[in-house]
Amino acid sequence: MEANLNGDRSCCAVRQGGETAIRKTACSFPLAAEDRSERMVAQIQASKAMLGTDFPAIRSDFEGPIRFGKVQSFEIDRVAVTTQRFAHFIEATGYQTDAERIGWSFVFHHQLPDDFPPTQAVAQTPWWRVAEGACWRSLCGREDTRSALAHHPVVHVSRNDAIAFAQWAGGRLPTELEWEHAARGGLGDVRYPWGDQDPDDAFTPCNIWQGDFPNANLASDGFEATAPSDSFQANGYGLKNMVGNVWEWTADSFVNEPMRHSSSKVAMSSLKDMALLKGGSFLCHQSYCFRYRIAARTANTADSASTHMGFRLVYDNSENC
């Protein structure tokens, strides 16, 4: 499949073509309820919730204006789904991820070993490399990395894969409203889960890029790539890494109501089938991809995978069902 990418979101949402953007995710394997002991969840009470910002940093992403909605009570994973937890799903079901089915996935160039053989790069963003065999169990496609990355967010997972896992685990992907409400941690109209102080090379409350992107990562936050899912300080709801570390798939599409009323037909056509991700990743930097803010958003096709996309689940409370 020819590698291409999604416009100016190149550091955020490099994608794998997109001809299978909306692949049916009905499970073809017997569903088995996940052991609830695997879950570390926070309870979010029903509430009026805030979405977006009146001070957008990237207007083309339709971050604003602020809107309000109502969320029912739900539970949410305190951390992103880990490689170890995802492995239990694969062992129980035999599911094949999109990256495994396609045969390759995108790896950030600094994650490849020095002796890695020549590999195709994306023309506009050569830091993204096509790695044959790269998938959730093998970061670069050369050796099994499940043990080394057991407690890191699972990566090389598409939105299709995340939905299949959710069906097995008895949960679902969050809506954008639920995700933002949870990320705010009770603080209201703030830029980050900890408040409004911008991260920099000295203040490192999350896992993003420090230094000169994409050439030199100072790793002032302690990590050159992903961090374990339970790293860094939790927000007011006990949730970790709601921004930085890995982009998180949501249940929503990128196209929202403001876009429907203000975008050109050409823009709408190119984005109408794109899925929404939230939170930014270890590759975000203010100079290039200032998308590690709560209101920030990006788009990708549902079958795309890379080393900086993961997910966490929410669970409906029985009284809401």
pLDDT tens column, 157-187: 999 999 999 999 999 999 999 999 999 999 9
pLDDT of residue 19: 43
Q: Would you say 227 and 186 are in contact if contact means Cβ atoms under 8 Å apart?
A: no
pLDDT of residue 86: 98
Whether the predicted pLDDT of 284 surpasses 90: yes
pLDDT of residue 96: 98
State how far the Cα of 301 lies from the Cα of 245, in Å rounded to an integer: 20
pTM of the complete model: 0.91
Whether the predicted pLDDT of 127 surpasses 90: yes
What average pLDDT is seen over the chain? 89
pLDDT above 70 coverage of the chain, percent: 84
Q: Which two tokens stand for residue 231?
A: 């790293």
Distance of CA 25 to the CA centre of its chain: 18
Q: Would you say 132 and 104 are in contact if contact means Cβ atoms under 8 Å apart?
A: yes
State how far the Cα of 100 lies from the Cα of 30, in Å rounded to an integer: 20
pLDDT of residue 34: 79
Whether the predicted pLDDT of 87 surpasses 90: yes
pLDDT of residue 3: 43
Residue length of the chain:
321
What DSSP designation does 130 have? E
pLDDT of residue 38: 67
- Torsion angle (degrees, nearest 10) of CA 185, 188, 189, 192: -10
Which own/partner contact pairs does 259-265 have at CB distance under 8 Å and 24+ positions apart? Answer: 259/62, 262/62, 263/62
Least confident among 72-76, 187-191, 273-277, 308-312: 273-277
Contacts of 6 (CB under 8 A, 6+ apart): 12, 13, 14, 15, 274, 298, 299, 300, 301
Where does residue 111 fall: left (phi above 0), alpha (psi -120 to 50 degrees), or beta otherwise?
Answer: alpha
Q: Which two tokens stand for residue 129?
A: 């490399």
pLDDT of residue 277: 98
Burial of residue 16 (CB within 10 Å: 0-12, 13-18, 19+) is buried
* Other C-beta atoms lying within 10 Å of the C-beta of residue 249: 28
- Bridge partners of 88? none
Q: How confident is the model at residue 4 (pLDDT cuts 50, 70, 90)?
A: very low
Whether the predicted pLDDT of 155 surpasses 80: yes
State how far the Cα of 299 lies from the Cα of 280, in Å rounded to an integer: 11
Q: How confident is the model at residue 303 (pLDDT cuts 50, 70, 90)?
A: very high
pLDDT of residue 14: 76
State how far the Cα of 310 lies from the Cα of 290, in Å rounded to an integer: 19
194 or 257, which is more confident: 194
